[in-house]
Amino acid sequence: MVSLPERRYVITFGCRDRTGIVARISSFLAEHGGWIVEAAYHTDPTTSWFFTRQEVRADSLPFGVDELRTRFTEVARELGALPGSWRVTDTAERKRVVILVSKDKHCLYDLLGRVAAQELDVDVSAVIGNHAGMAWITRAHGIPFHHVPFPVNDPEGKQAAFAQLRQLVDAHEPHAVVLARFMQILPAELCADWAGRALNIHHSFLPSFVGARPYHQAHSRGVKLIGATCHYVTADLDEGPIIEQDVIRVDHADSVGDMVRKGRDIEKVVLARGLRWHLEDRVLVHGNQTVIF
């Protein structure tokens, strides 16, 4: 039995649907000895858009990832792929993450615990908080912590804080910027610059109960299910492409505090799942929708 190596090249690709797409990609890889170990396909009949994700054994190809990108460019051009609708990544490149936090600790604790337990294979380059209370737990994991206070009722001060935040984050060139209950609304220019990299966990089952205090909103409506949503950040508050969601049952006896406590369990799981899929290049975005392979 062949033991598959850890290192793989991952191709994610999207274009308008037509005949021959799978054949063209497969024949391209076969021509160079590419050994496909995982492949997934999907066509959206509403938009007539085709999606695929393929993993290829790196040692089966006679060239490296840079050459693979160069050669695959011609295939993408033949198939009519738009710029930014495909990419080739190397699993040997360790992904870097910067985590943004506020006062709530549960999501940060969970992510750092998963990294320490090697359940998430990622380098957390830094944690940045608008309150200093997370410094001790972050540094206990050997990760730098930066405190960037955001003044209240001071637009110029907040603008300066976001400028400092941008500088700190961009210095690490992260593959993901995780808003782990950051509780600050990113300005539009940051949303644009971090598009497809900034992930947020929202403590409701979107599109229900957007904005602040969703558990209070849910309690006042007497809902029987509460949930959490991991989504990409866009300039439209809580309306970015959804990566993952889950729910937990509540009933009439649950107070707002009970809902918050139960909801935190879901938030942690949903954020961890969404981040994992993002880091593994399993999320393909098309407009405001996603395909998860």
Instruction: Please identify which of the residues 123, 193, 236, 238 carries the catalytic annotation.
Output: 238
Task: State the sign of the Cα–Cα–Cα–Cα dihedral 53, 57, 59, 61.
Answer: negative
Task: Kindly tell me the number of DSSP H helices and DSSP E strands found in the chain.
Answer: 8, 13
Structure tokens at 159: 């603008």
Among residues 275, 292, 7, the alpha carbon closest in space to that of 122 is found at 275
Residues, the chain, total? 293
> Cα 88 from chain centroid?
17
Strands, E assignment, 145-204? 145-147, 176-179, 198-202
104 to 179, 207, 264, 282: CA distances (angstroms): 11, 22, 10, 28
| Residue 121 designated active-site | no
Q: What is the set of active-site residues?
A: 238
